Structure 1
Amino acid sequence: MNTIIAFMKRNYKILIAVVLLSVSLFAFRKSSNTIETSEKDKMLLELLTFVIEKGHYSPKTIDDTFSKGVYKDYIQALDPSKRFFLQADIDEFAKYETELDDQLMNRDLTFFNLTYDRLIKRMDEAKVFYKGILSTPFDYSVDETFNTDYEKAPYASNEQELKERWRKQIKLSTLSSLTDRLKIQENKEKGITEKDTKSDLDTTNPVEFSENTEKPKTDKTADEKPKTLAELEKITRESSLKSLDEYFGFMKELTRDDWFSIYINSITARFDPHTNYFPPEEKERFDVSISGKFEGIGARLQKKNDFTEITELISGGPAWRGKQLESGDVIMKVAQGNGEPLDIVGMRLDDVVKKIKGPKGSEVRLTVKKVDGTIKTISIVRDIVEIEETYAKSSVVERNGMRYGVIYLPKFYIDFENADGRDAGKDIAAEVESLKKVGVNGIVLDVRDDGGGSLSTVVDIAGLFIEQGPIVQIKSADKQKEVLYDRDKKIEWDGPLVIMVNSFSASASEILAAAVQDYKRGIIIGSKQTYGKGTVQNVIDLNKFVRSSSSGDLGALKTTTQKFYRINGGSTQLEGVSSDVVMPDKYAYLKMGERDVENAMPWDKIDPAPYSVWKNNANFNKAIANSKKRIATNPQFKLIEENAKWIDERSKENLYSLKMDNFKKSQKAIEETNKKFKAIADYNYNVKFTSLPQEALAMQKDASLKEKRVRWHESLSKDIYVEEALNVLDDLQSKPVVKKNIPVTMKK
């Protein structure tokens, strides 16, 4: 989980010494306009290792042990399924296993060049493999198996063995899709629609090869003659061939720089899982993810063979406002202002994006092939595009005579470049204020799946619920401790509060949950524990270290510079935050936390900060006890727990039959078990969630926003975890719950 907590700019001073030292070291010496790729790579290695060693919270010794770790991570990243390299390649690579530390210090690219050249060669050979394999029908009557446990599988000893591995892997993929097609056709003949079978189809397919697995589509003509097994088998192979062609087309677009970034990140990951190198394009994507906005036209694109297709228009963006572009349009040419149009067919998607994005106020002209086949040139003036789904949102629900607000925070966003820009702290404060105006009796703050973001916004949000006091403690590489306080005596919300978390709530989410828990200000409900990321990262622009611009954009380094601690002194690193009320979830037994990641920094603790526990919580312990009793006796939660254990068991099954009859039998058994768990997805506790009045007005003018909110409200009404959060709010009320009906209007 690489979402991050970017600490405030004052902490950038930790690395000021590094910057000053590096001016003379990296004032590079070439006066020409370009630097050879290898020279740029060497410079990047030198710069990265220097910055990490000087700025990392706990730098590692670069020795043979370090080298072995880099080697293992890098080879695994290049060929995780062991379907490109031969054992002879690995034997040749292994000679460098303990030499990478020396090569790193000497800026030696021998190992990288060797592996890169060999990978490209093996990938070209693999194209021949899969095209040949898919040129003839598979025989699904042969009794053979394929093991998908790639980690334990040996590398192929020769080309024939490697080709056989490809054959079995593709055969399993096509067999899975073919059986789905057969089932759809059989159900169609029985009058059963795809909607009726969707749950089974979505949950029973054991094969997840993202590059060549495609869900079958239903036939468009209702009275079309049923297809024979041979016809369906051919359709499946053609579909797999198309998917693999697209996958290898994507791989072909990757440049040497892209592969070198993988090598660099195999090095940085040895320091800790959250120290990463961002190539220029990745740094830009990170900036967008943390701020929730960018400058451009507001369209999401995808590559389809040589063509670039528009998949979605971002609500409120210039393309959306212009109403000329639509999903499915294919971009053929791009022109800047009055400039000549540039043909972008066959161009890498990243390069297309660069051509289309640009500063606010500038014009871009797109020549597009419309869905109806017509060609049209569309002029768009670029603007700031806000990705609305990045931001906090809230909903209101009435039940048992009470009105409650649910706030969902997807990440702790902030715009570091603009103090007046949107940030999570200000937005949550606004949501709380709006909920107060409609008279809510309690608030649920949902940070499930929230991977983190800005540390400063955590302090602001936690401060909304307490009078004043410490929120989090920070410890830097120099072991100096700093305590971040909420110093505003105003309490924005002093009523019942529940924080919802899960095992994917990380970083900033964990700080917020920990602070609320330590103050006993609210009740934490969710997974047994949160993710367990208790470190702080700084994102450092590497271009600031180099005088010469001849090297081009060097990207950025995200490195761990600090650890944070709860106000009670304990770290959230590895251990995360334990919920006050643990609710079963289907991923409970899978290893997905920080504690399961290699090179994770250790747990420790420091002295607590002085703080006072919230006094206005007379029903606190009773609410927790009541919730635990409800969960223990709730049949739906029992079913979820059973499903979690089953998923854990299924995750350990790696051997699949390639004989259709046997495969069908195993799939049938899985489907039968899934029928039992279908009640989980069908659950609905039949309450109505609504938008706040100001958002309801906006929804009248924005069909896209309305559709998104309707879907969200429906999902809330089917979410048993939200239902239990509302039950806890009932138990936290200072007065008995009395049924009433209050119209939702904004108070002046």
Structure 2
Amino acid sequence: MTKVLKNMFRKKNLPVVLIFLAAGIFVAFRTLGLGGGGGKVNETKYDKILHTVGDMLAQIHFSPRKVDDQFSKEIFRKFLGEKIDEQKNILLAADVQQLKSEYELKLDDEIRGGSVQFVPAVSVIFRKRLPEAEAIYKELLSKPFEFTKDESANLNTEQAQFPKNDAERREQWRKRLKYMTLERYAEMVADREKNSSKPGFVKKTDEELEADARARVLKILNRTFDRLKTKVTDDDRFNAYVNTVSEAMDPHTSFFPPVDKRYFDEQMSGQFFGIGASLRDEDGVIKIITLVVGSPAWKSGVFNVGDIIQKVGEGKEGELVDITGFTVEDAVKLIRGKKGSEVRLTLKKADGSLKTVNLIRDKIVQDETFARSVVINTSRGKVGMIYLPEFYANFDDPQGARCSEDVRKEIIKLKEQKVDGIIMDLRNNGGGSLYDVVQMVGLFIEGGPIVQVKDRDGKPQIYQDRDKSVLYDGPLAVMVNEFSASASEIFAAAIQDYDRGLIIGSTSTYGKGTVQRNIGLDKTMGMLEPNSDLGTLKITLQKFYRINGGSTQLRGVSSDIVLPDIYEYSKLREKDNPDALPWDEIPKAGYNRWKYGLDLAPIQKASEARLKGNEVFSLIHTNAEWLTKQSNEKVVPLSLKKFQEDEKKIKATLKQIESLSKQSHELDAEAMVEDLKKYESDPAKLERFKQWVKSLRTNDIYLNEAVNVVNDMIVQKNLVYSGK
């Protein structure tokens, strides 16, 4: 039996084991020609991959969509308009119409067993139009742009239409190139104003700066088109097509291409362990897909999933290189470096702001992911805070680290310090081990159901805490934000459903209530060996449900105490993806609410009053929607004056929020003595712990309000116990 199945049985995840076995039977049937559309002797590699993926989606996906003419129309539109030509400035409307008349209603037939003809036909037309678009941008960038005219450009790719003729395509290119040049020209003008008085600074004229800006844009476009001509192959377009099909089922179902050397190298290049993040190329920009907990990027507190890396420089003074149009592999070559060396990156944040960050390259330190705690002294008592960045577990080592056991130890330590309340900080926690979530909730309740897990056909499986003992029964708050997902949502939902504590943070968490597994497309061993010669399908098999019956999918967990959040209106959550699976509910599990539940209304009222009187929270509340609108606004100015006015207002607002956001906390020095002693033998670990403590002292207005809320809970509890 393979390690995969051993781990599944060890986690007591029998439904997933059965699904994998069913997948194996299904693929074996297909090999014999007994499944739908399978077993053709003359199938090409593309046919085999698409047909197998189509069958697997239909047979084992949690909620497969019907593959019919309507589905075919959707895949046709998404593939051409989102994967092949998102800017809609390469293909012409006539090209799309030609493909539409031939293939728009046939893609479902291809998926169900027909010969794959659509992608090769698209490749032929795309290769024909590419040099035409290249000639257009080179001609336009050979002449100066004029930035005094009051005009604008609509860069909303969802609203854009494929150009009817070459003149219309040229105009779309003109406005896009003018805006790209304006962005860089405005930056150069600002740099000139800032540094003009410095000795040795070469002050260029407006004309020279404009020419430099165009040259930079030309370099970016040349780089992009060289990649499209020489590195993007027919296989790449086919892989993108299969992903279009799989992602139409739900955002977390994805196809990974065959594991040959090229694919392996590309995947490995997506990891830059120097700063600890995973990257992806999306339409010529390099976007952060994941952050490694404990890495330099993660510890900076600046990087977020979805940020775009625009520039990279070596050291404090090295030239910042614009990496727009780079492949991930080429971008990583700039970002990686020797351990201890410095790298400088310019990020474009979700709110539209630009931030340049200096990081020291380092190896990822595992202990940064582990649970840790501090004691915060307040005028009304002691509040313990347990920080948990992810629900970690070492399934291969029974003696390895487990978050539930580490949190148990931290609770015991806090109780020894006689804390009056505890905060569990799950902000930015993307999830992890389901087993440990169940164990962790059990530390706070007297046993009972924690979460329900359901596959597409079976009855819900209820995961129970069977230990009737309670390690901690005092006031409890759970901090979350829009990046708290999966296991974090299960924990927060259970605490809320039991009325065991209060959820504090953004209006809702991320909303990922689904479970995925990797299954290889191999015809006999796909369920056991995900890295097959045909590729791998990461497929959604199950869904999480709260014990109250509602799913955590799409809606996430709503906070009891809502704190204004700068990302509140940004489209970052599951609900913002149109292909996300819907929210639904099943019968609730039998459970009893916490017998010491508090009256939420006065605690909410007190928090609301504090927020109204808090300058920074008021500022965030007032400006969050405006800032998001500015960053999402696709109608952009093409005049320098208007561009500078908009940038100045955004920067001023963000600077004001940042300057007001620093709050101080009085941390209990005695409570940290044990941790400091524990780290004495490891100076590096000791320094990391001290840096974490330092950041808590000065930079967290959200923790400050969470402490206030827990203090209100402590007061109410004491009043109840005293009989007042």
TM-score, length-normalised on structure 2?
0.75
**1:12: which partner in 2?**
17
Measure, in 2, the Cα distance between the counterparts of 1:496 and 1:489: 19
Residues 367, 427 of structure 1: alpha-carbon distance in 2 compared, 3 angstrom cutoff: closer
Measure, in 1, the Cα distance between the counterparts of 2:221 and 2:568: 34
**1:23: which partner in 2?**
28
Structure 1 residue 99: deviation in Å?
A: 1.0
Residues 257, 688 of structure 1: alpha-carbon distance in 2 compared, 3 angstrom cutoff: farther
Structure 1: which 5+ runs fail to align? 1-5, 29-35, 191-220, 289-293, 306-311, 318-326, 330-346, 358-365, 372-383, 738-748
**2:161: which partner in 1?**
154
Residues 169, 553 of structure 1: alpha-carbon distance in 2 compared, 3 angstrom cutoff: same
Measure, in 1, the Cα distance between the counterparts of 2:257 and 2:95: 28
Are the aligned partners of 1:395 and 1:692 in contact in 2 as well (CA < 8 Å)? no
1:140-539 residue pairs with structure 2 within 5 A? Answer: 140-189=147-196, 222-248=199-225, 252-279=230-257, 392-400=371-379, 402-436=381-415, 439-539=418-518
Measure, in 1, the Cα distance between the counterparts of 2:292 and 2:571: 36
Structure 1 residue 153: deviation in Å?
A: 1.9
- Which SS does the other structure have where 1:545 is aligned? coil
Structure 1 residue 94: deviation in Å?
A: 1.5
Superposed CA deviations along residues 302-348 of structure 1, whole A, max 9, x for unmatched, are: 9999xxxxxx999899xxxxxxxxx969xxxxxxxxxxxxxxxxx98
- Which SS does the other structure have where 1:733 is aligned? helix
Are the aligned partners of 2:30 and 2:523 in contact in 1 as well (CA < 8 Å)? no
Q: Give the counterpart letter for 1:531 in structure 2.
A: Y
Residue 571 in 1 paired to residue 536 in 2? no
Superposed CA deviations along residues 248-274 of structure 1, whole A, max 9, x for unmatched, are: 566554444433222112111232233
Measure, in 1, the Cα distance between the counterparts of 2:677 and 2:200: 43
Structure 1 residue 90: deviation in Å?
A: 1.2
Are the aligned partners of 1:137 and 1:233 in contact in 2 as well (CA < 8 Å)? yes
Structure 1 residue 430: deviation in Å?
A: 4.4
Q: Give the counterpart letter for 1:725 in structure 2.
A: A
1:542-691 residue pairs with structure 2 within 5 A? Answer: 542-543=521-522, 545-546=524-525, 553-618=533-598, 621-650=601-630, 653-664=633-644, 666-667=645-646, 671-672=648-649, 675-676=652-653, 678-683=655-660, 684-687=662-665
Measure, in 1, the Cα distance between the counterparts of 2:205 and 2:717: 66
- Which SS does the other structure have where 1:239 is aligned? helix
TM-score, length-normalised on structure 1?
0.73
Are the aligned partners of 1:434 and 1:692 in contact in 2 as well (CA < 8 Å)? no
Measure, in 1, the Cα distance between the counterparts of 2:266 and 2:388: 18
Residues 638, 389 of structure 1: alpha-carbon distance in 2 compared, 3 angstrom cutoff: same
Are the aligned partners of 1:404 and 1:443 in contact in 2 as well (CA < 8 Å)? yes
Structure 1 residue 561: deviation in Å?
A: 2.0
Are the aligned partners of 1:565 and 1:572 in contact in 2 as well (CA < 8 Å)? yes
**1:91: which partner in 2?**
97
2:691 corresponds to which of 676, 698, 710: 710
Superposed CA deviations along residues 719-739 of structure 1, whole A, max 9, x for unmatched, are: 3222111111212225999xx
Residues 300, 482 of structure 1: alpha-carbon distance in 2 compared, 3 angstrom cutoff: closer
Measure, in 2, the Cα distance between the counterparts of 1:104 and 1:228: 58
Q: Give the counterpart letter for 1:259 in structure 2.
A: R
Measure, in 2, the Cα distance between the counterparts of 1:492 and 1:45: 52
Q: Give the counterpart letter for 2:216 in structure 1.
A: S
Measure, in 2, the Cα distance between the counterparts of 1:367 and 1:631: 46
**2:706: which partner in 1?**
725
Residue 56 in 1 paired to residue 33 in 2? no
Are the aligned partners of 2:272 and 2:278 in contact in 1 as well (CA < 8 Å)? no
Superposed CA deviations along residues 409-463 of structure 1, whole A, max 9, x for unmatched, are: 3443445555554444344344444544555443322223333333223212222
Q: Give the counterpart letter for 1:262 in structure 2.
A: A
Structure 1 residue 142: deviation in Å?
A: 4.2
The percentage of counterpart residues that share the same residue type is: 35
Answer with 590-599 or 64-73: which moved more: 590-599
Structure 1 residue 26: deviation in Å?
A: 3.2
Are the aligned partners of 2:665 and 2:696 in contact in 1 as well (CA < 8 Å)? no
Measure, in 1, the Cα distance between the counterparts of 2:239 and 2:381: 54
Structure 2: which 5+ runs fail to align? 1-7, 34-40, 285-290, 297-312, 316-325, 343-362, 719-724
Q: Give the counterpart letter for 1:271 in structure 2.
A: M
Q: Give the counterpart letter for 1:610 in structure 2.
A: G
Are the aligned partners of 1:619 and 1:731 in contact in 2 as well (CA < 8 Å)? no
Structure 1 residue 476: deviation in Å?
A: 2.2
Structure 1 residue 297: deviation in Å?
A: 10
Tell me which of the two structures has the higher relative contact order, counting C-alpha pairs closer than 8 angstroms and 6 or more residues apart.
1
Residues 87, 525 of structure 1: alpha-carbon distance in 2 compared, 3 angstrom cutoff: same
**1:199: which partner in 2?**
none
Q: Give the counterpart letter for 1:92 in structure 2.
A: Q
Q: Give the counterpart letter for 1:106 in structure 2.
A: G
Q: Give the counterpart letter for 1:138 in structure 2.
A: F
Superposed CA deviations along residues 275-323 of structure 1, whole A, max 9, x for unmatched, are: 22233679999999xxxxx999998899999xxxxxx999899xxxxxx
Residues 297, 726 of structure 1: alpha-carbon distance in 2 compared, 3 angstrom cutoff: closer
1:46 corresponds to which of 46, 51, 54: 51
Structure 1 residue 472: deviation in Å?
A: 0.6
**1:323: which partner in 2?**
none
Are the aligned partners of 1:716 and 1:722 in contact in 2 as well (CA < 8 Å)? no
Q: Give the counterpart letter for 1:239 in structure 2.
A: R
Structure 1 residue 52: deviation in Å?
A: 1.9
Q: Give the counterpart letter for 2:472 in structure 1.
A: W
Residues 148, 351 of structure 1: alpha-carbon distance in 2 compared, 3 angstrom cutoff: closer
- What is the number of equivalent residue pairs in this alignment? 631
**1:320: which partner in 2?**
none
Measure, in 2, the Cα distance between the counterparts of 1:262 and 1:315: 32
Structure 1 residue 156: deviation in Å?
A: 1.8
Measure, in 1, the Cα distance between the counterparts of 2:265 and 2:678: 32
Measure, in 2, the Cα distance between the counterparts of 1:303 and 1:655: 26
Are the aligned partners of 1:623 and 1:728 in contact in 2 as well (CA < 8 Å)? yes
- Which SS does the other structure have where 2:424 is aligned? strand
Are the aligned partners of 2:294 and 2:369 in contact in 1 as well (CA < 8 Å)? no
